[in-house]
Amino acid sequence: MMEQPVELEEKLKEELEVQDRSGEKDETNPQIINFRVIGRVENEFDQSNALDQIRSSEARIVLDPLLVEGLIGLEPGQQIMVVFYFHLFDGYELLQHPRGNQSRPKRGVFALRSPRRPNPIGVTVAELVGIQGNILHVRGLDAIDGTPVLDIKPA
């Protein structure tokens, strides 16, 4: 026999109360958002501790070959915005020393370019040096080798 709507509503309320008490329900993250990785960064850096060196060197963004048509209209010399995912970082701190330098006072994560953020998403404006098929050559990108790229936009 099917339960009546009032009984179903009561059961749902009870379940939500149990979730609230158990800590299973996360009020700070009510949604899960999924992104499609459109490419990956290739360069010789596997750690983010050499940020100035990373930015000054040339990197490659290897785009999914199925998305090459989306590059039409981009030209070398143009500034592009690259949106990427900090794939090696787990967790975050709201207050951090800039670049991990303990001699500098802590600042809020939203005042820093730190990869240790509530949503580990990075954004950098880089110079598009060239395009070869599905490979973009860029300079100024502060992402390390293997970093998943989420989007590319004109700056």
Do 125 and 155 contact (CB within 8 A), yes or no? yes
For residue 113, what are the CA distances in angstroms to 4, 116, 119, 152?
Answer: 53, 9, 12, 19
Dihedral angle, C-alpha 49, 53, 55, 60, nearest 10 °? -100
Structural domain contains residue 30: no
Say if residue 154's pLDDT is above 50: yes
pLDDT above 70: residue 79: yes
State the Cα–Cα distance between residues 108 and 110, nearest whole angstrom.
5
Can you give the residue range of the structural domain that contains 42? 35-154
Residue 66 domain-assigned? yes
Asked if residue 19 belongs to a domain, the reply is no
Among 68-77, 82-91, 145-154, the least confident range: 82-91
Residue 145 lies in a domain: yes
pTM: 0.75
Inside any domain, residue 102: yes
The mean pLDDT of the chain is: 85
Determine, yes or no, domain membership for 124. Answer: yes
Q: What is the CATH number of the domain that holds 49?
A: 2.40.30.70
Q: Which residue has the higher pLDDT, 67 or 101?
A: 67
Which residues neighbour 81 within 8 Å (Cβ) at sequence distance 6 or greater?
123, 124, 125, 126, 151, 152, 153, 154, 155
Structure tokens that stand for 11 in this block: 């059961």
Instruction: State the total domains in the chain.
Output: 1
